[in-house]
């Protein structure tokens, strides 16, 4: 029988929708969670966290909130949920949280994040997690969930270890659908099959939600073409995704309603876009393997242009 880990000290680094939601779920069930907060700090300290959906209305009244990782100190588990655009500062940001046996679980999007953390902080610490969920941070300290989804957790290198199952069980005990995967890289590509078209098209097609993409015949076809290119790249990299996965994702997406993907939320807020890990790195791998991906390359260039214009 699995046992909870009441003394497991957890740090949440990245207080966007993902970090606030999953950290909030853990805190709701009494886990020892410590949040690194910036803009939301004062509001969360005073009012706590709110997690909302059609089936839940959770208020975590007392939140362990901090302005720096030095204030938090060493933890057993560090959950990284910052945008990948902040990766250059992560090694120094995470350093005060690390003890000899600290585990780092990155929930970031795209390719290359585990490799980056492993290079700087040690490969034996690193786990990766894929969040198949639809969340938006609608105001400071408030997260709306539109699609329940799940988390898939795997080891960056080597076989699954007891720690992987222990962390998975902690999420399960706190009401999160969570499972382990023995091929983390394959799952990253599986998530990209959805992220590449819908996150990208939501921005380049005029700041539109997923329902509008599906409702436009040309955009729906383009989304499927992007999915097929992504599957082809993944298969060339040795990850045998089903060729029909794109159609399956299109059938699943209407369940999300008029969801605005995270890249669109970043764009509307004037934040830098996570272009390289989601579109740039898959494209570079395609070119290295001689896989044609013209739709992906066009989308990548469009996003770069829009991001540069926004930065000006």
Determine, yes or no, domain membership for 4: no
For residues 155 and 15, membership in a common domain is answered with: yes
Q: What is the arithmetic mean of pLDDT over 259-277?
A: 94
**Residue 302: per-residue pLDDT:** 98
Q: What is the mean pLDDT of the chain?
A: 94
In this structure, the number of other CB atoms found within 10 A of the CB of residue 287 comes to 13
Tell me which DSSP letter residue 276 carries. Answer: I
| Residues known to be catalytic | 191
Determine, yes or no, domain membership for 2: no
For residues 152 and 49, membership in a common domain is answered with: yes
Determine, yes or no, domain membership for 1: no
Number of structural domains (the chain) is: 2
**Residue 73: per-residue pLDDT:** 97
Tell me which DSSP letter residue 206 carries. Answer: T
> Are residues 154 and 128 in contact, defined by beta-carbon separation less than 8 angstroms?
yes
pTM: 0.92
Domain end point (choices 164, 182, 200): 182
Determine, yes or no, domain membership for 76: yes
Give the whole-angstrom CA distance, residue 109 versus residue 98: 23
State the pLDDT confidence band at 2, using cuts at 50, 70 and 90. very low
Give the whole-angstrom CA distance, residue 88 versus residue 107: 16
For residues 132 and 255, membership in a common domain is answered with: no
For residues 166 and 196, membership in a common domain is answered with: no
In this structure, the number of other CB atoms found within 10 A of the CB of residue 219 comes to 19
> Are residues 51 and 25 in contact, defined by beta-carbon separation less than 8 angstroms?
yes
What percentage of the chain carries pLDDT values higher than 70? Answer: 98
Q: Is the pLDDT of residue 6 over 70?
A: no
Domain end point (choices 182, 203, 220): 182
3-state DSSP call for residue 200?
helix
State the pLDDT confidence band at 159, using cuts at 50, 70 and 90. confident
Q: What is the pLDDT of residues 8-62, one digit of tens each?
A: 899 999 989 999 999 999 999 999 999 999 888 999 999 999 999 988 999 999 9
CATH assignment at residue 202: 1.10.1040.10
Q: Is the pLDDT of residue 1 over 50?
A: no
**Residue 158: per-residue pLDDT:** 79
State the pLDDT confidence band at 149, using cuts at 50, 70 and 90. confident
**Residue 281: per-residue pLDDT:** 97
What percentage of the chain carries pLDDT values higher than 90? Answer: 89
State the pLDDT confidence band at 200, using cuts at 50, 70 and 90. very high
Determine, yes or no, domain membership for 89: yes
Domain end point (choices 182, 211, 242): 182
pLDDT: is 22 or 3 the higher one?
A: 22
Domain range spanning residue 177? 9-182
Determine, yes or no, domain membership for 48: yes
For residues 170 and 278, membership in a common domain is answered with: no
For residues 134 and 98, membership in a common domain is answered with: yes
Give the whole-angstrom CA distance, residue 119 versus residue 81: 18
């Amino acid at each position: 029988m699995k046992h909870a880990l009441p003394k497991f000290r957890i740090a949440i680094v990245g207080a966007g929708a993902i970090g606030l939601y999953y950290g909030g779920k853990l805190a709701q069930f009494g886990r020892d969670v410590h949040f690194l907060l910036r803009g939301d700090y004062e509001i969360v300290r005073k009012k706590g966290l709110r997690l909302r959906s059609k089936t839940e209305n959770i208020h975590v009244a007392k939140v362990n909130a901090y302005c720096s990782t030095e204030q938090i100190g060493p933890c057993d588990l560090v959950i990284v949920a910052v945008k990948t655009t902040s990766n250059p500062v992560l090694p120094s940001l995470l350093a005060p949280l690390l003890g000899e046996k600290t585990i780092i679980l990155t929930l970031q999007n795209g390719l290359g994040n585990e490799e980056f953390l492993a290079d700087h902080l040690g490969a034996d610490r690193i786990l990766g997690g894929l969040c198949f969920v639809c969340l938006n941070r609608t105001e400071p300290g408030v997260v709306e969930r539109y699609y329940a989804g799940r988390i898939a957790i795997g080891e960056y290198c080597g076989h699954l270890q007891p720690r992987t199952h222990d962390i998975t069980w902690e999420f399960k005990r706190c009401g999160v659908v969570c499972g382990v995967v023995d091929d983390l890289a394959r799952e990253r590509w599986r998530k990209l099959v959805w992220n590449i078209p819908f996150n990208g098209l939501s921005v380049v097609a005029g700041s539109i939600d997923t329902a509008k993409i599906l409702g436009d015949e040309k955009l729906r076809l383009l989304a499927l073409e992007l999915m097929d290119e992504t599957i082809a790249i993944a298969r060339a990299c040795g990850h045998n995704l089903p060729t029909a996965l794109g159609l399956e994702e299109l059938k699943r997406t209407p369940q999300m309603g008029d969801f605005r993907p995270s890249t669109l939320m970043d764009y509307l807020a004037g934040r830098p876009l996570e272009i390289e890990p989601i579109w740039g790195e898959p494209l570079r791998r395609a070119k290295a393997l001689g896989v044609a991906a013209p739709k992906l390359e066009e989308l990548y260039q469009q996003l770069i242009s829009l991001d540069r214009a926004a930065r000006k």
